Structure 1
Amino acid sequence: MNLFKLNYTGSLLALVTFVSISVSAHAQQVQSDYQIQQEYNQQVKEIKQSLESVTTLSEAQQVSDRIDSLQMEYVDHRTLINKAVYPETFEEQISELEEWALSAQDQLATIEQQQDKLQRMNSELTSYGKKLNNLNSHTDSLETAIQKSIASEKELSDQLRNYRENLERRDQLILSFIDSVVVTYEDLGLNAMTDMENVRSENELNTEESPLKMMRAIPSESLQLLEANQDLRPEDYLRMKAVQQEFSRMWSKVGTKFTQAYSVNPQQTKSEIEQSINQWEKGLNDRMWTSLQQSFQQADIEVQDFNNSSTLFEALNTYVEQGLTKSRQDSGNKTYQDYTKFADFWNTRVKEYWTENMIRTEVLSSSQIATIDQKTNRWASIAQPESNLMAYLLGVSLFTIAVLGFMLFREKSGKKA
């Protein structure tokens, strides 16, 4: 009996011990499963945060490697994880992270390529800036020499020609600068500028050598040249007008993104540059229209006053129409002189030196120029004085008839005698 009690007590103790161990093991298993799920979710959260903040291609690649490690670490627990992330699955979450990582790598690779292009453009534009500074210095030196010159008329004329040629080279350089900016930014895509702003440091963007410095300089220096110059011709102003318009068009395309990328105060910088562009345009227009009007006056062609494209065409058209009317009424030498004076100026000055940039800047259109051409040609046919040839031939004919008649009369008189 005692032996039975002893065995019973021992068995009961063993059972209790077994149950305790089983419960403990189950609790540990439950704790381990929960910990796996929590650690997995935490790693997924951290990877997503990393993908949102990566700024370089190498960082994106590191995150991609981390996703691969996460997949390998938890692939054996996917059934457990599927319960924790339901209605998603482990495979779906890993696939989504991989897609995000690949997208980030593609975007950052594109941005790095764009940054390389932008850096090359910056270097190129910096080179333009240095060349422009050299040309400005040379132009200033020529201007000073002209103002102080006591040289002969020929030497002074040569200096003026060199000065104007230097201004033309400056304008060509600015046009090259404009083309470079437009082509580069169209190639990059302006939307890409926003991405680059997010990944480039402020110190990297806002340097003394940035293209923004040249953007500021071109309008202000061009206006200073205009204000300091009294020796320019209409063709100079028309060429400068073409440059000013191209610069304005370029700025309207890239100005906003340019200032956002290169200025610590984009709105203020944009406003200052646009104000400078407007002052440049106004100063140029005033001088260009005045110079064109004076050129007609100096050629003794009395066209009515004009100060814009429409009034210029109206003045030219009216002058030619009036010339046509006068020539119809009186085709003498005076109206012919008026025609030759205008036709010479129109063909050898306007069409030879002005029309290309007139059309380019819309001062006159090609159809308006063709209209003046046609009417000038019509004027030529009407203004030509009547030829004296017919009167001369008639006189000769009458004289010949008279002589023949006289000779015939003498011959008949001789026979009667």
Structure 2
Amino acid sequence: MKFRITILLTIVIGLFSSTLYAQEVQSDYEIQQTFKEQYANYEQKVENVSSPDSAESLIESIKQFDQNYSKHKELLNKALYPDTYEEQIENLKKSSIRTLNKVETITEQQKQLNKLENQLASYEQDLSQLDQQTDSLKTAIRQSTESEKELSNMVREYRQSLEKRDELILTFIDSMVVTYQNMDLDAFQEIENYDQRSRIKTNDALKLIHDISEENIKILQRNASNLQLDDYMRMAEVNYQFQTMWNKLGDKIHEVYEGDNADMLAENINSNLNEWNNLLQTNTVKAVKEYFAQQGIEADTFESAEELNGALHSYLDKKIKESKDNRSEENYSDLQKFKDFWDRVEVQWTSNLAHANVLSREQTSELNQKVDEWTQIAQPRSNNILVYLLGGSVLLAVALGVMLIRQKKNSGSA
């Protein structure tokens, strides 16, 4: 009897131990499976997080997740082999941090785009008003039967309106540079996943740049008779800044643009800039020619930038030779007239002439050496004699003054 009881107890205890072991094995399995399921869930959340706040909350949740399962590290290492628990958790934490940085960048990009959209609306409106104003003035000038003085005032007002327009374009360029240089296109492409206002729906930068480039061509085409060299020098700076902005940021602006005609607009902008450069060069050369005629600077005729450079060299060589052969008042007067022009080139227009592809910096430097040479030898002889006479008179006056002082001292001591 006792033997039977012992056997029965042994069987019961064995069954109970087997059940406990099975439960323990099942519990380990459940821990491993639950970890994998929750880990996959966190990976999905990291991919879909939509704001900095939710990203920060997710990071805290992942920390708690780590705390809950770190005590099962050895158990989980077996299930995750060849990876380890620590590697998996570290990867999850790093990806959550990257996501936080990404959504913060996206949020900042969206703020910049919203700001830019408001700026573009303002620029578009202001440019439209200025274009309407200049068009009206242009029409009035063309149809005018007013006196020469009143017509001159209208032309001056027209030129001032163009100057305001150029100033506005430079401000627009600054805004484009600030906005798009700091724009992360990779992050920007992610914005659509988080915010339906992902692109500028109206007043688009690409379209506005296209319209500005087209209007600038029209201004250069239809206004040659009403603009002066100062205007073209200012436009050369605008053109340079505009083209520099487009060369640096055109790809980004193109990428951001929403419309289906982005490729066409970008291609047209490149074409417009080439035409703008050519017209600016042609009109600037004509303006220099008109300036020379007005100021009586009798350089050889020229029709292109290359011919202008040659004409200037020829003119300066001729004047230098005249000065060497026979310094005269007439030659000196010609120097003064030319220097009125050249001083502005040196001080204000060196860069502008280079931007307009009229005179390079190297060409200007070479011409400047000849202007300096002419200046050094152009002083008329009559003027030199007068200088010597005046200098001799001053020395004589000083000598007489010294003698009088000595005479007074001698008289006093006597």
The TM-score normalised by the length of structure 1 is 0.79
Map 1:107-256 to 2 at 5 A. Answer: 107-186=102-181, 188=182, 190=183, 192-200=184-192, 203-229=197-223, 230-256=225-251
Map 1:3-402 to 2 at 5 A. Answer: 4=1, 12-13=7-8, 15-86=10-81, 88-186=83-181, 188=182, 190=183, 192-200=184-192, 203-229=197-223, 230-265=225-260, 266-300=262-296, 301-305=298-302, 307-308=304-305, 311-331=307-327, 336-337=329-330, 340-341=333-334, 343-344=336-337, 346-352=338-344, 356-362=348-354, 363-364=358-359, 365=361, 367-368=365-366, 370-378=368-376, 380-381=378-379, 384=380
AA aligned to 2:339 is: N
Structure 1 residues 133 and 360: CA distance shift in structure 2, 3 A: same
Contact 1:239 1:357 in 2 (8 A): no
AA aligned to 2:214 is: S
User: Equivalents in 2 of 1:152, 1:111: separation in Å?
Assistant: 60
Query: What is the CA deviation profile of residues 75-100 of structure 1, one whole-angstrom value per residue up to 9, with x for unaligned ones?
Result: 44333213223455434433442233
Contact 2:322 2:331 in 1 (8 A): no
- More displaced stretch, 14-23 vs 63-72: 14-23
Displacement after TM superposition at 1:226 (Å):
1.6
Name the % identity: 29
RMSD: 3.1
- More displaced stretch, 231-240 vs 364-373: 364-373
Q: 2:397 maps to what in 1? A: none
User: Equivalents in 1 of 2:311, 2:196: separation in Å?
Assistant: 55
Query: What is the CA deviation profile of residues 48-73 of structure 1, one whole-angstrom value per residue up to 9, with x for unaligned ones?
Result: 34324434313322432331342243
Query: What is the CA deviation profile of residues 351-381 of structure 1, one whole-angstrom value per residue up to 9, with x for unaligned ones?
Result: 3489613433424436346324313414522
User: Equivalents in 1 of 2:317, 2:288: separation in Å?
Assistant: 20
Structure 1 residues 119 and 233: CA distance shift in structure 2, 3 A: same
Displacement after TM superposition at 1:157 (Å):
0.5
Contact 2:206 2:265 in 1 (8 A): no
Contact 1:327 1:379 in 2 (8 A): yes
Other structure's SS at 1:213 match: helix
Displacement after TM superposition at 1:131 (Å):
1.6
Displacement after TM superposition at 1:155 (Å):
0.5
Displacement after TM superposition at 1:278 (Å):
1.7
Displacement after TM superposition at 1:282 (Å):
1.9
Other structure's SS at 1:151 match: coil
AA aligned to 1:305 is: F
Query: What is the CA deviation profile of residues 91-125 of structure 1, one whole-angstrom value per residue up to 9, with x for unaligned ones?
Result: 44334422332232234324423432443344234
Contact 2:117 2:202 in 1 (8 A): no
Structure 1 residues 177 and 109: CA distance shift in structure 2, 3 A: same
Other structure's SS at 1:204 match: coil
Displacement after TM superposition at 1:162 (Å):
0.5
- More displaced stretch, 176-185 vs 261-270: 261-270
Structure 2 unaligned blocks of 5 or more: 387-414
- More displaced stretch, 215-224 vs 55-64: 55-64
Displacement after TM superposition at 1:330 (Å):
4.7
Displacement after TM superposition at 1:319 (Å):
0.5
User: Equivalents in 1 of 2:229, 2:243: separation in Å?
Assistant: 21
Q: 1:396 maps to what in 2? A: none
User: Equivalents in 1 of 2:369, 2:50: separation in Å?
Assistant: 61
Other structure's SS at 1:303 match: coil
- More displaced stretch, 290-299 vs 223-232: 290-299
Displacement after TM superposition at 1:280 (Å):
1.8
Give the length in aligned residue pairs. Answer: 376
Contact 2:59 2:96 in 1 (8 A): yes
User: Equivalents in 2 of 1:28, 1:197: separation in Å?
Assistant: 50
User: Equivalents in 2 of 1:138, 1:126: separation in Å?
Assistant: 18
User: Equivalents in 1 of 2:229, 2:317: separation in Å?
Assistant: 24
User: Equivalents in 2 of 1:313, 1:193: separation in Å?
Assistant: 45
Displacement after TM superposition at 1:163 (Å):
0.4
AA aligned to 1:360 is: N
User: Equivalents in 2 of 1:99, 1:319: separation in Å?
Assistant: 72
- More displaced stretch, 113-122 vs 270-279: 113-122
Structure 1 unaligned blocks of 5 or more: 391-417
AA aligned to 1:124 is: Q
- Higher CA-based Rg: 1
Structure 1 residues 355 and 114: CA distance shift in structure 2, 3 A: same
Displacement after TM superposition at 1:239 (Å):
1.4
